[in-house]
């Protein structure tokens, strides 16, 4: 919850703008210097413990009102029977219980953006069971998993109103929503978010603001390689920092790389380079020194390199379920992540879906606090992991 004030927007611009006179060696030298500074900041402010969250991935529904140009998560109603429009409570509980047996503490609830607004099938499914919206259903399923299984829900289901954030807070340890990028240019014709109205940055920032007003620990981040410029990356990081400076509630920044997927409009689009990813990770640390910063290890085969650029977290890793958003990218085993982390001189520890600095009555309901208190050690991390 400390201030994240780091380098200014103009200083960040200067770090990444190279004159034509610079050759590749000079550019690489500047990037290496950024990484060294970022790593030193991480060591001095976050220490040498790198965290992750043992989780299960619960895909509540694959329906979505949006059409992102890179997504293979969403499905159409005709591809499923009417009874499986959304995951039933018994199936949700079964996934959570399997995760509990495997030592998981996080139940990640994932859903497409408000499918009931596009599909009558989704509205009918929800209404038949007494729910007005997908978010209302997820809130009730969060309650079920928290009370019956003792796992901690984390919801990532698109934009949320203030009332919806408050409803989820009763049973969720944290909430997430990727900003992806703060540029409205990416909403334009032929761009990644052309047919995804919910990806408008003002809507995403409003959800972040709602979480801040409700005092909820919030996870967000950037998606790199979808057509953005480096200036737009910097603007996005500054937008997140400004929001955090206002409400002190953003617990984590994810720096995620786009991976092209077959049968999508961006199937032939190049994925971001290793150098680009490393530079953005370092920038994120320089712009927000105290922030928890992570890179998904399943999307980056050489994920250990990012420790050299200033990250301190690997995000959610599941020993039970696949990454339903990126099913082509299996999770590395936790033992493998541990060996890579330790080889770099760090210690790997399991955290909850809420970071230690946000484990308080200000950010968590009494129900959630009670579950965490049974499992945490003196550092606010998961006891025994």
Angle at 271 between CA 265 and CA 274, to 5 degrees: 170
**What percentage of the chain has pLDDT greater than the value 90?**
87
Of 70-84, 147-161, 307-321, 371-385, where does mean pLDDT reach its minimum? 70-84
Q: Which residues of 80-101 are buried (b: 16+ CB within 10 A; e: fewer)?
A: eeeeebbbeeeebbebbbebbe
Q: Would you tell me how many other CB atoms lie within 10 Å of the CB of residue 55?
A: 24
Assessment of whether the complete model's pTM goes beyond 0.85: yes
The answer to whether residues 347 and 372 touch, using CB atoms and an 8 Å cutoff, is no
How confident is residue 152, by pLDDT bands cut at 50, 70 and 90?
A: very high
Residue 83's H or E segment, with its range, is none
pLDDT in tens, 268-290: 999 999 999 999 999 999 999 99
Alpha helices in 103-161 (DSSP H): 120-128, 134-144
Q: Would you tell me how many other CB atoms lie within 10 Å of the CB of residue 2?
A: 10
CATH 3.20.20.70 fits 9-375, yes or no: yes
The answer to whether residues 295 and 303 touch, using CB atoms and an 8 Å cutoff, is yes
β-strand pairing of 292-294 with 218-224: unpaired
The answer to whether residues 278 and 14 touch, using CB atoms and an 8 Å cutoff, is no
316 three-state secondary structure? strand
Give me the residue spans of the domains in the chain. Answer: 9-375
Q: What is the mean pLDDT of the chain?
A: 94
């Amino acid at each position: 919850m400390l201030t994240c004030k780091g380098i200014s927007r103009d200083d960040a611009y200067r770090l990444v703008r190279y004159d034509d006179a610079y050759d590749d060696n000079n550019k690489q030298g500047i990037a290496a210097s950024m990484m060294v500074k970022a790593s030193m900041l991480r060591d001095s402010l976050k220490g040498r413990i790198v965290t992750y969250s043992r989780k299960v991935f619960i895909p509540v529904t694959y329906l979505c009102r949006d059409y992102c140009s890179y997504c293979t998560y969403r499905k159409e109603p005709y591809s499923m029977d009417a009874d499986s429009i959304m995951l039933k409570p018994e199936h949700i509980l079964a996934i959570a219980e399997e995760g509990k047996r495997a030592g998981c503490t996080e139940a990640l609830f994932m859903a497409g953006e408000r499918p009931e607004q596009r599909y009558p099938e989704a509205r009918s499914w929800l209404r038949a069971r007494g729910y007005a919206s997908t978010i209302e259903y997820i809130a009730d399923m969060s309650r079920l998993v928290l009370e019956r299984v003792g796992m901690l829900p984390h919801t990532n289901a698109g934009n949320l109103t203030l009332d919806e954030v408050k409803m989820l807070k009763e049973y969720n340890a944290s909430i997430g929503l990727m900003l992806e990028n703060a540029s409205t240019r990416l909403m334009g014709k032929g761009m990644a978010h052309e047919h995804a109205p919910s990806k408008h940055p003002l809507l995403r920032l409003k959800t972040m603001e709602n979480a801040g007003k409700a005092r909820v620990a919030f996870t967000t981040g950037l998606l790199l390689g979808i057509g953005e410029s480096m200036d737009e990356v910097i603007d996005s990081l500054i937008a997140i920092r400004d929001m955090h400076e206002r409400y002190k509630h953003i617990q984590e920044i994810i720096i995620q790389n786009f991976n092209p997927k077959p049968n999508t409009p961006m199937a032939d689009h190049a994925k971001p380079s290793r150098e680009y990813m490393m530079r953005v990770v370092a920038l994120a640390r320089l712009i927000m020194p105290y922030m928890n910063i992570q890179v998904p290890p399943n999307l980056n085969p050489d994920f250990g390199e990012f420790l050299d650029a200033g990250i301190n977290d690997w995000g959610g890793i599941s020993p039970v379920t696949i990454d339903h958003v990126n099913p082509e990218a299996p999770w590395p085993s936790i033992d493998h992540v541990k060996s890579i982390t330790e080889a770099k001189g760090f210690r790997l520890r399991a955290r909850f879906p809420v970071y230690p600095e946000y484990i308080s009555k200000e950010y968590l309901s009494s129900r959630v606090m009670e579950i965490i208190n049974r499992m945490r050690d003196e550092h606010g991390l998961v006891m025994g992991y």
